[in-house]
Amino acid sequence: MEKDFLESRLNINRRRFLSRLSLGIGSVALGSLLIPDLFSGAGAESEADFIPGIPNFAPKAKRVIYLFQDGAPSQLESFDYKPKLREMMGQELPASVRGNQILTGMTAKQASFPLVGSFYDFKQYGESGAYVSDLFPHIGKIADDICIIRSMNTDAINHDPALTFFQTGAQQGNRPSMGSWVSYGLGSENKNLPAFTVLLSKGKGNGQGVYSKLWSNGFLDSIHQGVQFSSGENPILYLNDPDGLNRHERRKMLDNLAALNDINYKAFGDPEINAKVQQYEMAYRMQTAVPEIMDVSKESDDIVKMYGPDCLIPGTYAANCLLARKLSENGVRFVQLYHQGWDQHSNLPQEMAGQAKDVDQASAALVTDLKQRGLLDETLVIWGGEFGRTNYSQGKLEKANYGRDHHPRCFSIWMAGGGIKPGLVYGESDEFGYNIVKDPVHVHDFHATILNQLGIDHKKLTFKSLGRRYRLTDVAGNVIKGIIA
Amino acid sequence: MRTSHKGFAEGLLFALNIFIVVLLCAGDSLAIPQWLQPVGRLHPLILHFPIVILLLAMVMEFFRFRPEFANEKLYQRFTTYLLVLGALLSSLTVIMGLFLSREPGYEGGILQWHKWFGVSVAFVGYGIYLWRNTSVYTAIIAKTGAIVIVICLIFAGHFGADLTHGEDFILAPILQKENRKVPIEQALVYRDVIAPIFETKCQSCHNADKMKGGLMLTTANAILKGGKTGKLFIAGQPGISLLLQRVHLPEDEKKHMPPVGKPQLTDQDKMLLYLWIKNNPDFKKKVIELPATDSLRMLAATRLKPAESTEEVYDFSAADDKDIKKLNNNYRVIYALASASPALAVNIYNKSTYSVKVLDELEPIKKQIVILDLNKMPVKDGDLKTISRFENLRQLNLNFSDINGSGLKDLASLKHLKTLSLAGTKLNPNLIGQIIAIKSLTELAIWDTGLKPGEIQQLQAAHKKIRLLSGYKDDGKPLKLTNPQLKNTSQIFQQSFQLQLSNPIKGVDMRYTTDGSVPDSIKSAAYKPGILFTQNTVLRARAFKAGWLGSDTVQFNFYKNTYTPDSISFLAPADGKYTADGAKTIIDKELGGTNFGNMKWLGSQKDMVMLMLFKKPIALHSLTLNTIRNIGSQIFLPAEIEVWGGADEHHLKLLTSLKTATPQKKDPVAAINLECKIKTTGNISCIKLAIKPLQKVPDWHPAKGKPAWVFTDELFLN
């Protein structure tokens, strides 16, 4: 593929050809034959350091499953235990704690900011003694397998930019998604399935939208785009042959089409033509691979009990978790789940209970299931939303009813497997759960760390577009060494 | 140059050289006044001039006696001028250097070497200048002198650079420092954890040659001694440590260390220093002598970790790229573990294309395969013989394959096998001993293989080194079954319908009732495929299974509809917001669900009137309208429904009308069937249906006085 790109550029881009020539191709070639690293500039970041499809160093994780909790679940009712907030229930948030934090339009005009403690109790779990709220008993049980990060922070305060930031490393939605970067960086493991797949589910809580730009390939080649598996009769749209067309005829049609496309490729040298032919071929192979993946009827009762019986109802979060395991097991590099309904501006205690019930058992089951298959070592599981929620109530604070607004400064996520330290609680927030006091992890750091686990140096995974090289981490990001096993 | 200038230069040169001698003799007793210090500090700037000028002068001096130059006046004079200028500047530089060396922070061997080579340049240069026009000065002496000066220049320059840039500055990029790989068992707290911090962040200014602030951080004694300001720390009292104070000062503070612009200590560095001082600094203590929970030990362990967990080094060479490319196909994916690694991973996909040939063909890369994934492939025991040829295999996944274990003995020859996954296979428990004997094995997955928990426990007890993955055990709490699902495509039927229920969980017992009662697992009728219903039915169903809690009760309503009009049109249409699919919405055999806003319901605040035509006359006995009531949303039942019938639209008469009861405040939200019975009137070909909403919402409603909404989604004609 890369070679094709180069060839086509040489064919059509005279300026590039001449500029390359002026360097003296001959001497460069000879020099690099004698000493291969002569021009690679050790330590410097150069394009030559990165070969798409092969990790920079031996990876800890081969695959990622990202359980995105869309809408931003409250850290204060899940993984960040703040007894102080209960003590100070109803009291005003001290101005010194809030500092210069900008608020959303939803609470900026609120006359008071009454602190509110978690409606739900917390318990300590496992040898790690991590605090997990009573809403997530199953995740509590796997506390020793996961690493809870309580010091995440982001730049954005509203759903769409924050979600886009988490998914693409930028708040404007024109960059490739993380899954696309991984597909570009590592290639696909199983050529019969897309390297990047997307699964959606929806809870009953107040929801926010997810859009296909979140799994867009941006400026990368279109084969790196996320492919959405839906829950209906046809999990992948337009994959099945039309009625009356048998597989043999389909094959003949594809062969002839490929021959025609090849004529055009020879004439124009556009690599997108070849990409398209490859996509047709992959779709052809997917026609047999996908039904096998989607078939959950062969899963044993133990598995069903583990994920919860909902896992057999297509379109539920539990079903998507089971499917995510099957896809990942079959070599899909990046499985992206979204579960909507976590935007609890009001009615939080009730809504969050419903949301937690949707995801708790299946999330924990996924980790346990990967572990028993010996896959957890090489699969990185991530659970979290796009930001956190405020420690004060949005709207009227009642004894058993309150809401929380968006809070980008400090929130919690967890990761498991893929060479991340199990049984660790990383980072710390102040006793108000408002500011980070120890080991902050920014979204860029989060991206750098994920790529690192996949064997990719985030500074080397670049793609040149519109005259400059882009990275998932843009110009920032540090690998969080403290959470790496 | 005029003679007077030359004389002046010579005089100055003499004076400067005497001054150098004085400075050298005075040695340590010399104190430089503060106002002269800037002059000393100009040393690194000025020194570049004498280097260049003297070098050029010496080249010319070297060839001075060559016949072609001997009588060249310009050449001779130019050499003289260069030499006098070079000698002057070098003397000046030496004086400045001697001033600078008196400032604190410059000490040690390198400084001495630099000083004496520098002084030699000045003296030898002056000597040559004095001597070069005498008769004893021959070509050989000229050449020797030139060479000596050049050598002195080079050494003086080199040692000087060592002072300013640090030793090995030039060669550092190519002198690859060996990564110290100290296993944690052998690591010393000071040597392997603390000293590297000093080495990388402090020693460029605090070393034996350059003791800024009188402080040297290269040896234990010097560290204990401290610097000009005092001791660095008192053991066990980090709170009053000068060292920690300096590194913790704000960066813009003048005394902050390291100075702005130099590499700063990380928070972890500072923490390590703090803990080290708190623990009573010891230069010989081993890391593992600290208690396991000690913060210093834990931090030190993370520091030393990278050395420990370096990537596995393989002792085999890489396979031929061409072989890899040739063997790679859509169902056999071969990829390198990392960009420079010879190790390969192989994944096999697609049951239908698998055969042992897929493995046999890997012969050319058999040495390089370290990971082989055959998950869910129909691998037979005989195939393991081929696998045993992959001598460097580390990880083998045979989960859910077709082996029974008889071929596992072949794997015993794999000396590196670490992870073996046999879950979901029909493993013969008696054969497990053969694999467990593989010494390198550390992980074995054997869940779902028919091995009983007791057997697995015994195995685990006998082989503590191997981690046995025995699978998930539920906590015994029964879970609730999923609800029965209706598979019938429509809940509206003409004559009869066959009930089609299903449940994704295998082996469930589904029970149903048609009398509105909650089904139980004993008395209620059991669902079997093929049960026929011929009447309107309210079906309630539940699923049961041993070991599970029964599902929720679900209700499905089935409606009989004997006649479907051949055409339908509005005489008075629905509201523009709720037009759904037009008039035919109510005969489309699709119920509208519970949400009136989903575009499957017709709604209006005015009379809705529809005209239906039948090509074949029908005998109508009843007309049932499915409506919705949602008082909160101002949706009430129709106040009245009128049904007109006749042979055609011009000959209609009122067949019946239905008036609903006065709505009450507490009427629940519900879908309600309104049935209009019709006394037999003979066959009709045309029906007019008028649905009339409540004219005025009752006074107790917030929208009192306004017309109510009516909604309908389906019509049943029997």
Helix (H, G, I), strand (E, B) or coil at B233: coil
Task: Show which of B276, B308, B340 is a domain's final residue.
Answer: B308
Same domain, B8 and B55: yes
> What is the least distance, in Å, from the CA of A485 to any CA of chain B?
9
Same domain, B461 and B330: yes
Same domain, B325 and B449: yes
Does B482 sit within 8 Å of A372, measured CB to CB? no
Q: Do residues B102 and B111 touch, judged by C-beta distance below 8 A? A: no
> What is the least distance, in Å, from the CA of B325 to any CA of chain A?
14
Query: May I ask the CATH architecture of the domain A63-244+289-483?
Result: 3-Layer(aba) Sandwich (3.40)
Q: What is the number of structural domains in chain B?
A: 5
Same domain, B568 and B517: no
Helix (H, G, I), strand (E, B) or coil at A308: coil
Partners of residue B544 in chain A, C-beta under 8 Å: none
Q: Do you know the residue count of chain A? A: 485
DSSP state of A455: T
| C-beta atoms surrounding A280 within 10 Å | 14
For the residues B601-619, what does the mean pLDDT come to? 90
DSSP string, A29-44: HHHHHHSTTTTT-TTS
Rounded alpha-carbon distances, angstroms, from residue A17 to A1, A21, A23, A51, A465:
19, 6, 10, 21, 18
Q: Look at residue B184 and tell me if it is in a domain.
A: no
The residues near B49 (Cβ < 8 Å, ≥ 6 apart) are B89, B93
Partners of residue B554 in chain A, C-beta under 8 Å: none
Beta strands in B413-566 (DSSP E): 419-421, 443-445, 467-469, 485-486, 492-493, 497-498, 501-502, 509-513, 525-526, 532-533, 537-544, 554-560
Indicate the residue type of B209.
Answer: D
pLDDT-derived band at A13, boundaries 50, 70, 90: low
Residue of B269, B303, B305, B333 to mutate, testing the A interface (most A Cβ within 10 Å of its Cβ): B333
Of A54, A289, A482, the CB nearest to B336: A54
Distance, in Å, from the CA atom of A449 to the CA atom of A454, rounded to the nearest integer, reads 9
The residues near B568 (Cβ < 8 Å, ≥ 6 apart) are B583, B584, B586, B587, B610, B611, B612, B613
**Does A51 lie at the interface with B, CB-CB under 8 angstroms?**
yes
B470 φ, ψ to 5°? -105, 5
Tokens read off for B456:
């697995």
pLDDT-derived band at B581, boundaries 50, 70, 90: confident
pLDDT tens, position by position, B343-392: 999 999 988 889 999 999 999 999 999 999 999 999 999 999 999 999 99
Instruction: Provide the CB-side half-sphere exposure for A236 (13 A, CA).
Output: 21
Tokens read off for A248:
């043999």
Does B445 sit within 8 Å of A309, measured CB to CB? no
Per DSSP bridges, beta strands A146-153 and A196-202 are unpaired
The residues near A15 (Cβ < 8 Å, ≥ 6 apart) are none
**Does B304 lie at the interface with A, CB-CB under 8 angstroms?**
no
- Hey, which residues 563-592 in chain B have their CB within 8 Å of chain A? none
* Residues A87, A90, A96: CA angle, nearest 5 degrees: 85
Highest mean pLDDT among A376-390, B13-27, B129-143, B435-449: A376-390
For the residues A156-175, what does the mean pLDDT come to? 94
Kindly tell me if the per-residue pLDDT of A18 is higher than 60: no
Kindly report, as residue ranges, where domains of CATH 3.40.720 are found in chain A. 63-244+289-483
Does A481 sit within 8 Å of B311, measured CB to CB? no
Does A296 sit within 8 Å of B504, measured CB to CB? yes
> What is the least distance, in Å, from the CA of A189 to any CA of chain B?
7
Q: Do residues B660 and B640 touch, judged by C-beta distance below 8 A? A: yes
Same domain, B148 and B206: no
Partners of residue A309 in chain B, C-beta under 8 Å: 479-482, 504-505, 548
CATH number at residue B329: 3.80.10.10
Rounded alpha-carbon distances, angstroms, from residue B12 to A66, A69, B91:
80, 83, 10
pLDDT for the residue numbered A477 = 93
Torsion, CA A91, CA A95, CA A99, CA A105, rounded to 10: 70
**Does A312 lie at the interface with B, CB-CB under 8 angstroms?**
yes
**Does A76 lie at the interface with B, CB-CB under 8 angstroms?**
no
Helix (H, G, I), strand (E, B) or coil at A283: helix
Same domain, B155 and B99: yes
Does B331 sit within 8 Å of A192, measured CB to CB? yes
For the residues B475-495, what does the mean pLDDT come to? 85
Place of tokens 């600290």: B290
pLDDT tens, position by position, B364-374: 999 999 999 99
Partners of residue B479 in chain A, C-beta under 8 Å: 305, 308-309
Say what the ipTM of the complex is: 0.80
DSSP state of B477: P
Same domain, B86 and B160: yes
The residues near A27 (Cβ < 8 Å, ≥ 6 apart) are none
Same domain, B398 and B453: yes
Does A455 sit within 8 Å of B445, measured CB to CB? no
pLDDT for the residue numbered A261 = 93
For the residues A15-37, what does the mean pLDDT come to? 50
Task: Check whether the bond before A314 is cis (ω within 30° of 0).
Answer: no
DSSP state of B188: B
Place of tokens 């006044």: B33
Partners of residue A301 in chain B, C-beta under 8 Å: 505-506
Helix (H, G, I), strand (E, B) or coil at B648: coil
Of A285, A313, A372, the CB nearest to B469: A372
Q: Do residues A201 and A339 touch, judged by C-beta distance below 8 A? A: yes
CATH number at residue B597: 2.60.120.260
> What is the least distance, in Å, from the CA of B131 to any CA of chain A?
50
Kindly tell me if the per-residue pLDDT of A37 is higher than 90: no
Q: Do you know the residue count of chain B? A: 718
Does A329 sit within 8 Å of B423, measured CB to CB? no
* Residues A476, A478, A481: CA angle, nearest 5 degrees: 175
- Hey, which residues 450-469 in chain A have their CB within 8 Å of chain B? 455
The residues near B611 (Cβ < 8 Å, ≥ 6 apart) are B568, B569, B570, B571, B649, B686, B687, B688, B689
Q: Is B511 left (phi over 0), alpha (psi -120 to 50) or beta?
A: beta
Distance, in Å, from the CA atom of B666 to the CA atom of B682, rounded to the nearest integer, reads 41
Q: Which of B391, B398, B405 has the alpha carbon at shortest distance from B372? A: B398
Q: Do residues A228 and A315 touch, judged by C-beta distance below 8 A? A: no
> What is the least distance, in Å, from the CA of A287 to any CA of chain B?
12
Indicate the residue type of B16.
Answer: L
For the residues A414-441, what does the mean pLDDT come to? 94
Rounded alpha-carbon distances, angstroms, from residue A222 to A91, A275, A456, B569, B713:
53, 8, 21, 49, 44
Distance, in Å, from the CA atom of A176 to the CA atom of A218, rounded to the nearest integer, reads 4
Q: Which of B503, B557, B496 has the alpha carbon at shortest distance from B531? A: B496
Q: Look at residue B174 and tell me if it is in a domain.
A: no
**Terminal Cα-to-Cα distance of chain A (whole angstroms):** 35
**Does A418 lie at the interface with B, CB-CB under 8 angstroms?**
no
pLDDT-derived band at A39, boundaries 50, 70, 90: very low
Residue of B505, B508, B542 to mutate, testing the A interface (most A Cβ within 10 Å of its Cβ): B505
Of B352, B445, B472, the CB nearest to A302: B472
pLDDT tens, position by position, B400-416: 999 988 888 888 888 89
The residues near A25 (Cβ < 8 Å, ≥ 6 apart) are none
Partners of residue B469 in chain A, C-beta under 8 Å: 371-374
> What is the least distance, in Å, from the CA of A483 to any CA of chain B?
10
**Does A204 lie at the interface with B, CB-CB under 8 angstroms?**
no
- Structural domain including B82 reads 3-165
**Does B549 lie at the interface with A, CB-CB under 8 angstroms?**
no
Helix (H, G, I), strand (E, B) or coil at B164: helix
Whether pTM > 0.90 for this model: the answer is no
Q: Do residues B413 and B389 touch, judged by C-beta distance below 8 A? A: no
**Does B445 lie at the interface with A, CB-CB under 8 angstroms?**
yes
CATH number at residue B508: 2.60.40
Rounded alpha-carbon distances, angstroms, from residue A436 to A114, B271, B314:
20, 18, 43
**Does A301 lie at the interface with B, CB-CB under 8 angstroms?**
yes
Same domain, B421 and B346: yes
Per DSSP bridges, beta strands A468-471 and B332-336 are unpaired
Same domain, B702 and B586: yes
Kindly tell me if the per-residue pLDDT of A34 is higher than 80: no
> What is the least distance, in Å, from the CA of B287 to any CA of chain A?
19
- Hey, which residues 376-415 in chain B have their CB within 8 Å of chain A? 397, 399
Return mean pLDDT, chain A: 88
Does A302 sit within 8 Å of B448, measured CB to CB? yes
> If DSSP states are collapsed to H, E and C, what string results for B168-186?
CCCCCCCCCCCCCCCCCCC
> What is the least distance, in Å, from the CA of B536 to any CA of chain A?
28
Same domain, B193 and B276: yes
pLDDT tens, position by position, A42-70: 443 444 456 777 788 888 899 999 999 99
Handedness of CA B514, B515, B517, B521 (dihedral sign): negative
Return mean pLDDT, chain B: 86
Same domain, B115 and B60: yes
